[in-house]
A and B are shown apart, each in its own frame.
Chain A
Amino acid sequence: MNPKTQEQAIEKATQQEYKYGFTTEIEADSAPPGLNEDIIRFISKKKNEPSFLLEWRLKCYRYWTKMAEPTWASVHYPKIDYQDIIYYSAPKKGGPKSLDEVDPEILKTFEKLGVPMQEREILAGVAVDAVMDSVSVGTTFKKKLAEMGILFCSFSDAVQEHPELVEKYMGSVVPYNDNFFAALNSAVFTDGSFCYVPKGVRCPMELSTYFRINAAKTGQFERTLLIADEGATVSYLEGCTAPMRDENQLHAAVVELVALDNAEIKYSTVQNWYPGDKDGKGGVYNFVTKRGACRGVNSKISWTQVETGSAITWKYPSCILQGDNSVGEFYSVAVANNFQQADTGTKMIHVGKNTKSTIISKGISAGHGQNTYRGMVRIQPAAENAQNYTQCDSLLMGDKCGAHTVPYIEVKNNSSKVGHEASTSKISDDQIFYCRQRGLSSEDAVNLIVNGFCKEVFRKLPMEFAVEAQKLLNVSLEGSVG
């Protein structure tokens, strides 16, 4: 392929505008910016929370004030002023009981995003718990799920309706003192999703939540808690977009998954927060703590993520494999284009016997993007016959980007098998030439090759997500290879 076309292709792809960069004018009910115990009390009061939760928040806040922001990730950003963030912002006309009551502006926003909220989406079989800024605005399919005993609601509702479950499981996977951002989230989280699948129930549809940062200068701190009781199966989708803003927005979420005996959780994410413009201005800081605990025997947790957005991604969806024969999986595609920085990976902590984990990570770097895979595989002494397989591949497009692989492998049991492989390459001229020869445009050729590169991960996504992910990837990278 001639270098000129390649260059043009790169140019074209890197200049692709962010499609979801509109803002919605809704009156917001906000707290003043800043963080102190009063703000936390304000949030807690606004949300009419039981006292245990306020106590917990304050404990987290006090601990957080003593913590230092982590610096070990290979990402660089100006210091965040935590006193300049609005920690509570809710659309004013809150509390809708059904879709008809939802602010039409909000519905329009979701429509633009393509979130299936209307009746026609029943066909798609998706129940959506949509989160706009901090408060859940509409939950569909709730009734249908309730018939099966599945609790799927916003975190706030869960606090009101099922405080015993919240108290039992919240913070049990990601303790409040786990890390800086988790502690911050624990102190100020405003909403999120909650799901409990009772014993032996197989959730009949893909559950989905959709986050969107809207109000300017708002930090989004949501919390997701998903519990699959014995023998339950659930698949959960999470999608994110954020409007275009010049200043950097902070998103520090916590996701906790609990799988009991024979339970299975599949958690898929397509993350498309605003990545900043082509000069690296603006964009979302995505500092997320996601962790799942396979507590029971034969339980399984599978993380699939497609990370195309955010100026900075700092995210390590992990599995603690406590139960014997439990299985942890991590499939990831991470894209860093323009000035995006992604430091992402996983932790697989093998505690139980015969535990298995698989890690497949595909990193794509283009423009000035920096992409780091950072993953840990730890085999504890009691984890007899544990097995891990890790594969990390990086694809470089352009000579200004970087791809880094930082695996930590710790084996403390001699009956285990751990393997790690990684490679770094660029799309070879031969591959492009081969496709061109068969009549494909250079751009299509690149798409074809990139999609092939990511196929192993896309295959793990639920159908509707796989299509979206593929499209997103093409949008963020179109032709940026040569």
Chain B
Amino acid sequence: MNSTEVKNNYLSVFSDWEKTALTKDPFWIRETREKALSYFEKSGFPSSKDEAWKYTDLDAFYKIPFALTGEGQTKAAVSAELKFLGFDTSKANLMVFVNGHLSKSLSSFEDSHGIKVRSLIESLSNGPLKRYFIEILPFENRPFVSLNYAYFTDGLFLHVPEGKQLEKPVHLVYLSDNSGKPTQSHLRNLILMEEGSRATVVEHYWGNNLNPYFTNVVTKVSLDKDASLDHTKIQQESELATHIGVLAARQKENSRLAARVFSFGGGLGRSEVETVLAEKRAEVALDGLTLSTGKQHLDIRTFVDHLSPACKSAQAFKAVADKSGTAVFDGQVLVRENAQKTDASQSNKNLELSKDAKIYSKPQLTIYADDVKCSHGSATGQLDEEAIFYFQSRGISREEARRTLVYAFAEEMVGKIQNDYVKGPVGLMVQRWMEEEIGKKS
């Protein structure tokens, strides 16, 4: 199929799917879905001529007929697998989604102290969440976002009231069951942080499926005054998967968002992070590590909108590309007219380990205010032969030396994680990646 055929397919299956899958939806959600679909009809899928998709080609994605399915079963021994990955799930609110639907039997989570940790679709049926649902991320000209609006099935709803602190982090695990045919899931998370509240959320996409699948996720975050959210996304999809995800936040005065993206999996993976610093002294820290090997194409896109004065943003992204892997970083900082005293930094460092690996980096600054401190840097290089020689001269093999040096490069991003629940497991993932991927060849 080509992009137009895939598009038409999405348009034509909607009414049938809506009749069977969405019987519980309130009216306004149905309305939103239809509106989003009409936007999608207008925009169609992006092509490499779209500036936002310049380096990410979707041809492979169009070729696979992903089916919309209902709830699925997973054969994975989820708790054992998570334990192997290093997570102590007894210390978290665990929510497991299979094919976009919450699996209650695999999950264990609860409300506490007025903090709501729930399934989004159930919360939408009950509460007046319309306002939060629509605002923050408009779907105009965002084909995958509008598709998500039209077809989303479930996700997390987290609401932390004023002054409350969520003690156990929320650990979201997304799996796909596709033993029969290629499947897709559209997930939607909504995180509302009221004044002075705090929480930690982990979005964890994971699979070792033998069939291709497609995950399309949108996470929206609203941070009120003094609120603070620590968000980590771990993308560990199967190498046959297509993963497209957006995290969109809106921050009020003095709020703080720390968002990290670890992209290790997926054949085609794209993670977008964007935030609007809507009120003064809001702060955001975006970090990420991409490990791309085989034929992976991993794309990171960030957008920080400095709308108000005295806000601070810091971005640090690193990527390692080995074999025929591709890593893309496209980051943008926009400083608007009245966002004086802005402090924005952006750093992108890339390590290219093989001849066929590709690195694309596009760090952008768009500045309309004069009293600002903005800088960005991007560097792409390879391992230092002298450093490898130093190791070898001390009896350490070339492979071991390379592994150590690459690990040292990547570890910095692990070190930035504040939360112990995530830090250990992510460190372990990076370590295992080094053992499996580096040193197979010199």
Residue positions of A touching B, CB distance < 8 A: 72, 381, 394, 396-426
Nearest A-chain residue to B359, judged by Cβ: A411
CB <8 Å contact, A400 and B382: no
Partner of A414, one of B51, B55, B352, B375: B352
CB <8 Å contact, B364 and A404: yes
Cα separation A419 to B349 with both chains bound (whole Å): 9
CB <8 Å contact, A420 and B379: yes
Q: List 14 A-B contacts (CB under 8 A).
A: A399-B371, A404-B366, A405-B363, A405-B366, A409-B360, A416-B382, A417-B382, A419-B377, A419-B379, A420-B363, A420-B378, A421-B377, A424-B372, A426-B371
Q: Which 8 A-B pairs have the closest CB atoms?
A: A396-B370, A409-B361, A414-B352, A420-B378, A424-B374, A411-B359, A405-B365, A418-B380
Q: A414-B357, A418-B381 are in contact. List 20 more A-B contacts (CB 8 A).
A: A72-B51, A394-B365, A396-B369, A398-B370, A399-B340, A399-B371, A400-B337, A404-B367, A406-B362, A406-B364, A407-B362, A409-B361, A410-B358, A414-B354, A414-B355, A416-B380, A418-B378, A425-B372, A425-B373, A426-B371
Cα separation A419 to B377 with both chains bound (whole Å): 8
CB <8 Å contact, B364 and A413: no
Task: Tell me the B308-363 residues at the A interface (CB within 8 Å).
Answer: 337, 340, 350, 352-363
Secondary structure of the B contact surface, majority rule: strand
Which residues of the other chain, A, contact B389 by a CB distance below 8 angstroms? Answer: none
Which residues of the other chain, B, contact A397 by a CB distance below 8 angstroms? Answer: 370
B423 interface residue per 8 A CB criterion: no
Q: How far is the CB of B279 from chain A (nearest CB, A)?
A: 20
Q: How far is the CB of A338 from chain B (nearest CB, A)?
A: 16
CB <8 Å contact, A414 and B353: yes
Nearest B-chain residue to A400, judged by Cβ: B337
Q: Tell me which of B352, B369, B370 has the highest count of chain A C-beta atoms within 10 A of its own C-beta.
A: B370
B142 interface residue per 8 A CB criterion: no
Nearest B-chain residue to A410, judged by Cβ: B360
Q: How far is the CB of B42 from chain A (nearest CB, A)?
A: 19
Q: How far is the CB of B389 from chain A (nearest CB, A)?
A: 16
Q: Tell me which of A404, A409, A412, A418 has the highest count of chain B C-beta atoms within 10 A of its own C-beta.
A: A409
CB <8 Å contact, A412 and B358: yes
Which residues of the other chain, A, contact B53 by a CB distance below 8 angstroms? Answer: none
Which residues of the other chain, A, contact B375 by a CB distance below 8 angstroms? Answer: 421-424
Nearest B-chain residue to A421, judged by Cβ: B377
Partner of A409, one of B355, B365, B372, B380: B380
Cα separation A418 to B361 with both chains bound (whole Å): 10
Nearest A-chain residue to B337, judged by Cβ: A399
Q: How far is the CB of B413 from chain A (nearest CB, A)?
A: 20
CB <8 Å contact, A404 and B365: yes
Partner of A402, one of B352, B366, B377: B366
Cα separation A15 to B359 with both chains bound (whole Å): 46
B7 interface residue per 8 A CB criterion: no
Which residues of the other chain, A, contact B380 by a CB distance below 8 angstroms? Answer: 409, 411, 416-419
Partner of A405, one of B360, B371, B372, B376: B376
B390 interface residue per 8 A CB criterion: no
Which residues of the other chain, B, contact A401 by a CB distance below 8 angstroms? Answer: 368, 370
Q: How far is the CB of A359 from chain B (nearest CB, A)?
A: 12
Which residues of the other chain, A, contact B376 by a CB distance below 8 angstroms? Answer: 405, 420-422
A-contact bits for B28-54, CB 8 A (1 contact / 0 none): 000000000000000000000001000
CB <8 Å contact, A399 and B378: no
Which residues of the other chain, B, contact A72 by a CB distance below 8 angstroms? Answer: 51
Q: How far is the CB of B269 from chain A (nearest CB, A)?
A: 19
CB <8 Å contact, A420 and B377: yes
CB <8 Å contact, A422 and B377: yes
Partner of A423, one of B350, B360, B374: B374
CB <8 Å contact, A407 and B370: no
Which residues of the other chain, B, contact A415 by a CB distance below 8 angstroms? Answer: 382
CB <8 Å contact, A411 and B358: yes
Q: Tell me which of A400, A423, A424 has the highest count of chain B C-beta atoms within 10 A of its own C-beta.
A: A424
Nearest A-chain residue to B49, judged by Cβ: A72
Q: Tell me which of B55, B357, B363 has the highest count of chain A C-beta atoms within 10 A of its own C-beta.
A: B363
Which residues of the other chain, A, contact B378 by a CB distance below 8 angstroms? Answer: 407, 409, 418-420
Which residues of the other chain, B, contact A408 by a CB distance below 8 angstroms? Answer: 360, 362
Which residues of the other chain, A, contact B382 by a CB distance below 8 angstroms? Answer: 414-417
CB <8 Å contact, B371 and A403: no
Cα separation A419 to B359 with both chains bound (whole Å): 12
Q: How far is the CB of A388 from chain B (nearest CB, A)?
A: 9
CB <8 Å contact, B363 and A403: no
CB <8 Å contact, A424 and B367: yes
Cα separation A416 to B379 with both chains bound (whole Å): 11
Q: How far is the CB of B417 from chain A (nearest CB, A)?
A: 27
Cα separation A378 to B378 with both chains bound (whole Å): 14
Which residues of the other chain, B, contact A417 by a CB distance below 8 angstroms? Answer: 380-382
Which residues of the other chain, B, contact A399 by a CB distance below 8 angstroms? Answer: 337, 340, 369-371
Nearest B-chain residue to A387, judged by Cβ: B381
Which residues of the other chain, A, contact B355 by a CB distance below 8 angstroms? Answer: 381, 413-414
Nearest B-chain residue to A396, judged by Cβ: B370
Cα separation A406 to B51 with both chains bound (whole Å): 12
Nearest A-chain residue to B385, judged by Cβ: A415
Nearest A-chain residue to B366, judged by Cβ: A404
Q: How far is the CB of A465 from chain B (nearest CB, A)?
A: 29
Q: Tell me which of A404, A413, A414, A420 has the highest count of chain B C-beta atoms within 10 A of its own C-beta.
A: A414
Partner of B361, one of A398, A420, A422, A426: A420
Cα separation A415 to B374 with both chains bound (whole Å): 30
CB <8 Å contact, B367 and A407: no
Partner of B367, one of A400, A402, A410, A416: A402
Nearest A-chain residue to B374, judged by Cβ: A424
Cα separation A413 to B352 with both chains bound (whole Å): 8
Nearest A-chain residue to B364, judged by Cβ: A406
Task: Tell me the B369-423 residues at the A interface (CB within 8 Å).
Answer: 369-382
Which residues of the other chain, A, contact B367 by a CB distance below 8 angstroms? Answer: 394, 396, 402-404, 424
Cα separation A432 to B340 with both chains bound (whole Å): 20
Partner of B362, one of A409, A412, A413: A409
Which residues of the other chain, A, contact B359 by a CB distance below 8 angstroms? Answer: 409-412
Nearest B-chain residue to A425, judged by Cβ: B373
Cα separation A419 to B373 with both chains bound (whole Å): 20
CB <8 Å contact, B365 and A403: yes
Cα separation A407 to B333 with both chains bound (whole Å): 13
Cα separation A400 to B361 with both chains bound (whole Å): 29
Nearest A-chain residue to B382, judged by Cβ: A414
Which residues of the other chain, B, contact A426 by a CB distance below 8 angstroms? Answer: 370-372
Which residues of the other chain, A, contact B360 by a CB distance below 8 angstroms? Answer: 408-411
Nearest B-chain residue to A408, judged by Cβ: B362
Cα separation A419 to B350 with both chains bound (whole Å): 10
Cα separation A419 to B376 with both chains bound (whole Å): 11
CB <8 Å contact, A422 and B357: no
Given A381-B355, A410-B358, A411-B358, A405 and B370 contact (CB-CB distance below 8 Å): no
Which residues of the other chain, B, contact A420 by a CB distance below 8 angstroms? Answer: 361, 363, 376-379
Which residues of the other chain, B, contact A398 by a CB distance below 8 angstroms? Answer: 370
A-contact bits for B132-172, CB 8 A (1 contact / 0 none): 00000000000000000000000000000000000000000
Nearest B-chain residue to A376, judged by Cβ: B362
Q: How far is the CB of B65 from chain A (nearest CB, A)?
A: 32
Which residues of the other chain, B, contact A394 by a CB distance below 8 angstroms? Answer: 365, 367
Cα separation A403 to B337 with both chains bound (whole Å): 11
Cα separation A108 to B423 with both chains bound (whole Å): 75
Q: How far is the CB of B60 from chain A (nearest CB, A)?
A: 19
Which residues of the other chain, A, contact B350 by a CB distance below 8 angstroms? Answer: 411
Which residues of the other chain, B, contact A404 by a CB distance below 8 angstroms? Answer: 364-367
Cα separation A412 to B359 with both chains bound (whole Å): 6
Cα separation A2 to B73 with both chains bound (whole Å): 71
Nearest A-chain residue to B330, judged by Cβ: A408
Nearest B-chain residue to A397, judged by Cβ: B370
Cα separation A404 to B337 with both chains bound (whole Å): 13
Which residues of the other chain, A, contact B55 by a CB distance below 8 angstroms? Answer: 410
Nearest A-chain residue to B368, judged by Cβ: A402
Q: How far is the CB of B326 from chain A (nearest CB, A)?
A: 9
Nearest A-chain residue to B373, judged by Cβ: A425
Cα separation A410 to B374 with both chains bound (whole Å): 23
Which residues of the other chain, A, contact B364 by a CB distance below 8 angstroms? Answer: 404-407
